[in-house]
């Protein structure tokens, strides 16, 4: 992603964006592409409006165009009442939204985003997602990286799962789930007093499970509902079922944290 934006040197291979060679003609690429880096990179000494205006100006818009565009972008992102606020006073969510708004200053056809909703509270994240969905609707191609599988499920038409710099598989979220995730996963919320018993039972029954804190996710080998009848009478175990999701896909493909009972 940094290579796309010209922020990292390319060692080998080729990248093209909208038919433009990224390595040979990086300046031209940056003219058609908006970038939201992992860190907001906003100028803390300037107001919201000034940040947008400066970005437009640096990107080659005239003063008048940059001013008009900044107003339009503020309107689009619902930030108009914040236009005179100093950036350093904004919340994390607001800064993130401003960083996305900033990448829209040049009306790009492609936007590259490095973990757009990392570190945001649920409300701000939803707001960011809504805005990204609107961008998609108006025809902007969005390329984003994320650790949140929920984010990938909601936003992506096509996704690649990468581990250690290699693409392990790609497809639509539904295709990926169908290919790699179980139909159903049982989730056991287990109180500390029963955790040893539950572990023992699952291991004994040869049931595959994954333990994260007090939550144990159980998948039967054939992908159907696992037999947990032996845990019915145990105190402090709450069982619920959910459909397989991208989180399961990610773990299945990368093999991380998987415990074979």
Partner 1 sequence: MFHALFETSWNAYYRIDNDVYETALTTSITITEITMGDILWAVTRSIMTVVGTATVAALFGWLNHWEAIGIIIPAIMVGITFGALGFLFSAVAPHTTFLTLVFTLVASPMFFFSGSFFPISILPDWVEPIAWFMPLTSAVHIAGGFALADLNITHLWAALYMIALTAVIWPVAIYLLRRRLIK
Binding residues for partner 1 (CB under 8 A): 2, 5-9, 27-28, 30-31, 34-35, 37, 39-44, 55, 58-60, 99, 102-103, 106
Distances (CA, A) of 96 to 24, 40, 48, 79: 30, 6, 12, 12
The distance of closest approach from Cβ of residue 126 to partner 1 in the complex, given in angstroms and rounded to an integer, is 24
Q: What is the rounded CA–CA span in Å between residue 54 and residue 73?
A: 13
The distance of closest approach from Cβ of residue 56 to partner 1 in the complex, given in angstroms and rounded to an integer, is 9
When the beta carbons of 45 and 255 are compared against partner 1, the nearer one is: 45
Chain centroid to Cα 234, Å, comes to 38
Contact at 8 Å (CB) between 100 and 73? no
Q: What is the rounded CA–CA span in Å between residue 171 and residue 190?
A: 35
What tokens were used for 187?
């989730």
When the beta carbons of 55 and 180 are compared against partner 1, the nearer one is: 55
When the beta carbons of 13 and 122 are compared against partner 1, the nearer one is: 13
When the beta carbons of 6 and 171 are compared against partner 1, the nearer one is: 6
Which residue matches tokens 């074979």? 260
When the beta carbons of 35 and 73 are compared against partner 1, the nearer one is: 35
Give the strand pairing for 208-212 and 184-190. Answer: unpaired
The distance of closest approach from Cβ of residue 41 to partner 1 in the complex, given in angstroms and rounded to an integer, is 3
The distance of closest approach from Cβ of residue 45 to partner 1 in the complex, given in angstroms and rounded to an integer, is 9
Which residue matches tokens 């054939």? 222
The distance of closest approach from Cβ of residue 63 to partner 1 in the complex, given in angstroms and rounded to an integer, is 15
What tokens were used for 186?
């049982």
What tokens were used for 197?
């018993």
């Amino acid at each position: 992603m940094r290579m796309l934006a010209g922020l990292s040197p390319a060692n080998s291979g080729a990248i093209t964006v909208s038919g433009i060679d990224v390595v040979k003609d990086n300046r031209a690429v940056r003219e058609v592409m908006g970038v939201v880096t992992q860190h907001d990179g906003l100028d803390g000494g300037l107001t919201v409006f000034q940040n947008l205006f400066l970005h437009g100006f640096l990107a080659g818009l005239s003063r008048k165009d940059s001013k008009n565009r900044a107003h339009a972008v503020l309107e689009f992102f619902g930030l108009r009442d914040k236009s005179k606020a100093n950036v350093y006073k904004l919340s994390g969510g607001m800064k993130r939204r401003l960083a996305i708004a900033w990448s829209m200053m040049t009306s790009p056809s492609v936007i590259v985003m490095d973990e757009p909703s990392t570190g945001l509270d649920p409300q701000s994240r939803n707001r960011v997602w809504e805005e990204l969905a609107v961008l998609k609707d108006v025809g902007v191609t969005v390329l984003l990286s994320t650790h949140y599988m929920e984010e990938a499920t909601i936003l992506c038409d096509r996704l690649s799962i990468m581990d250690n710099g290699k693409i392990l598989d790609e497809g639509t979220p539904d295709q990926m789930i169908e290919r790699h995730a179980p139909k159903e996963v049982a989730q056991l919320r287990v109180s500390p007093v029963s955790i040893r018993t539950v572990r023992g039972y699952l291991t004994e029954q040869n049931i595959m499970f994954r333990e994260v804190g007090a939550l144990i996710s159980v998948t039967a080998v054939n992908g159907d509902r696992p037999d947990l009848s032996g845990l019915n009478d145990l105190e402090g175990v709450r069982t619920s079922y959910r459909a397989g999701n991208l989180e399961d896909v990610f773990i299945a493909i990368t093999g991380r944290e998987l415990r074979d009972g």
